[in-house]
Structure formats: C-alpha cells, structure tokens
C-alpha cells in the first residue's frame, strides 16, 4: 500500500501544454503513473504524449469520473483558479507544482479545499512518489526505491537526498511527499503524518523540516499520539535571524520558526531527533529494532 498515489490512481495534468508540464508528463507516464487526460483552456483537442487535452477539468471528469489526482503546472496568477476547479470537480489529491502563488490566493484555495475534504500538496512542491508505483510531480525517480519508510519534507532536494540515504542503508520508501517551499501550504506535516500512521505498509516516518514557519511545531502534539516512530531532522540551524534559506517560507522572524524552537517541540513530543543528516538511517534502524 502507499498514501496519496499508487499504480491505480487515475491522474490529470493541469497546464499540460506548458514546456515543463509536457516534459514531466512524459516522465510520469514512463514511470507508470496513469495520466488519463490533460487540461489547458483553449487547447482542447490537442494531444501531449498521446494524452488528450481538454479545456476544463469537468470535461475530464465527464470522460473519466474516477480521476483521483491532479498535478498543477500553471503560472502563479492562474494557480488559485486551477486549484478551485479541481476541488469543485471532486478530485481528492491535488499536487501543486507552481511556486510563488500569491499568499491570499493560496489561503482562499486552501480553505475551500479543506471545507470539501480535499488534500492539496504544495505549492512549490516537487511532488509525491510511491516508489515502483506512481509519481506525480518532478522528483528524480532514480533516488527512490520501494520500502516501508514514509518520508515527508519541505524541500525537494532534501526529499530525494533523504530517500537516497535510506536506500544506501538498505531501506526503501512507502511514499515520499514534498510538502513544498512556499509560505502558505495546502497539507502540513500533521496531515501527512496522519496518512502514514494509518498506512499498514509504513513502519516508520522520517520528517525533514527547515527554519521558518510553524508547521513542524504544529505537528509535534500529534507525534506524541502516534504508535509509529518518527525521526525528525531540521535544517538551517546555523542561519542567522532574518536570513531566508532558499524557500520563500524558510525565514526566521523573532523567536518563531527557529531550528531550536522546532527541535524542542518535536523532542518534547517523542520525535527522535537527528542532529545531522547522516544520522537518519541509523536512527531509523534503532527505532525499528530497538537496538
């Protein structure tokens, strides 16, 4: 099993006629993702990688009513409308690759999705992969292999470096989720931890956060209720106050969003803290074996 996406998940691509979307549609199909349709307003009737393009998400749903996921690659100014269109169509998992979405647009889209019980990953996410089954997004598939460790991270680079480290230690991933680097995200750490806690094929979870925002602190109380071990790593410990670390959301303001505050909250609620990235595989091993 896996979370969010598997080999049976029928998926569409919004903005499929864009250069990057078309390229990664090819890669997703080659990996085994069931891309059944694409959407670009005004481009209906085209084909991209033998995938039919429609003008609206509703037209896709009329043709394939069991579509369960979409990836969104449209420019930032169109992202809110694309998310709302997918939510209104009832698509359960929405993966938003678009970055730098206006904050008020994302707040509105997130609230509407939450009201409808829809999971939105991103914006500015590299995507979601259930190794050996399906990929939605632009993660480098060579760094992932099937296994029983769930991973969730803000950063795309950290997502695949984390998977590669686990692989080299003899582990693999059930699903790897890139939450995204924008300041306002759809799903947060707690949402994904809940999914992994209920997944019978995930034995432990590694979460990798970063300075800025409060998503890690907000997830900490739920970790205290989990039966599965959670190994946590926070990057950016040496960043000075007010320094942005790569992502728009990775900026420390005052005492909020510091590495120290995140680590303290996570440790207090039972998370196993990795001080360095290289410690993670061994901490996973100890958590699973007790040795």
Active site residue 24: no
Measure the CA–CA gap between 172 and 106, rounded to whole angstroms.
33
| Angle, alpha carbons 194-265-234 (nearest 5°) | 80
Q: At which residue do the structure tokens 């609230």 appear?
A: 111
Strands 134-137 and 127-130: antiparallel
Q: Alpha helix (H) ranges present in the chain?
A: 19-31, 57-63, 76-88, 103-115, 156-168, 189-197, 215-223, 259-268, 280-289
The active-site residue, picked from 74, 247, 248, 269, is 247
Give the three-state DSSP class for 137.
strand
Task: Give the CA dihedral 225, 113, 163, 270, nearest 10 degrees.
Answer: -20
Phi, then psi, of 28 in degrees rounded to 5: -65, -40
Contact 169, 281 (CB under 8 A): yes
The residues annotated as belonging to the active site are 247
């Amino acid at each position: 099993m896996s979370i969010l996406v598997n080999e049976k998940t029928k998926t569409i691509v919004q903005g499929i006629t864009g250069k990057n979307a078309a390229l990664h549609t090819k890669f997703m199909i080659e990996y085994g993702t069931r891309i059944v349709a694409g959407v670009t307003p005004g481009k209906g009737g085209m084909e991209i990688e033998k995938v039919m393009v429609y003008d609206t998400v509703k037209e896709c749903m009329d043709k394939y009513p069991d579509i369960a996921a979409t990836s969104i690659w449209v420019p930032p100014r169109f992202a809110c409308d694309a998310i709302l269109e997918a939510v209104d169509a009832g698509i359960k998992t929405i993966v938003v690759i678009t970055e730098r979405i206006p904050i008020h647009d994302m707040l509105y889209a997130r609230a509407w999705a939450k009201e409808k019980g829809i999971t939105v990953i991103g914006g500015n996410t590299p995507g979601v992969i259930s190794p050996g089954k399906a990929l939605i997004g632009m993660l480098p598939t060579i760094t992932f292999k099937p296994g029983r460790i769930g991973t969730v991270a803000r950063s795309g680079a950290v997502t695949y470096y984390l998977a590669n480290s686990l692989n080299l230690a003899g582990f693999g991933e059930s699903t790897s989720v890139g939450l995204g680097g924008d300041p306002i995200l759809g799903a947060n750490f707690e949402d994904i931890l809940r999914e992994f806690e209920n997944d019978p094929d995930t034995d432990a979870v590694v979460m990798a956060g970063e300075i800025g925002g409060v998503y890690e602190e907000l997830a900490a109380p739920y970790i205290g209720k989990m039966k599965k071990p959670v190994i946590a790593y926070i990057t950016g410990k040496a960043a000075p106050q007010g320094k942005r670390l790569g992502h728009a959301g990775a900026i420390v303001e005052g005492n909020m969003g510091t590495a120290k505050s995140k680590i303290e909250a996570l440790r207090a609620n039972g998370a196993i803290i990795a001080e360095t990235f290289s410690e993670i595989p061994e901490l996973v091993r100890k958590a699973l074996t007790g040795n």
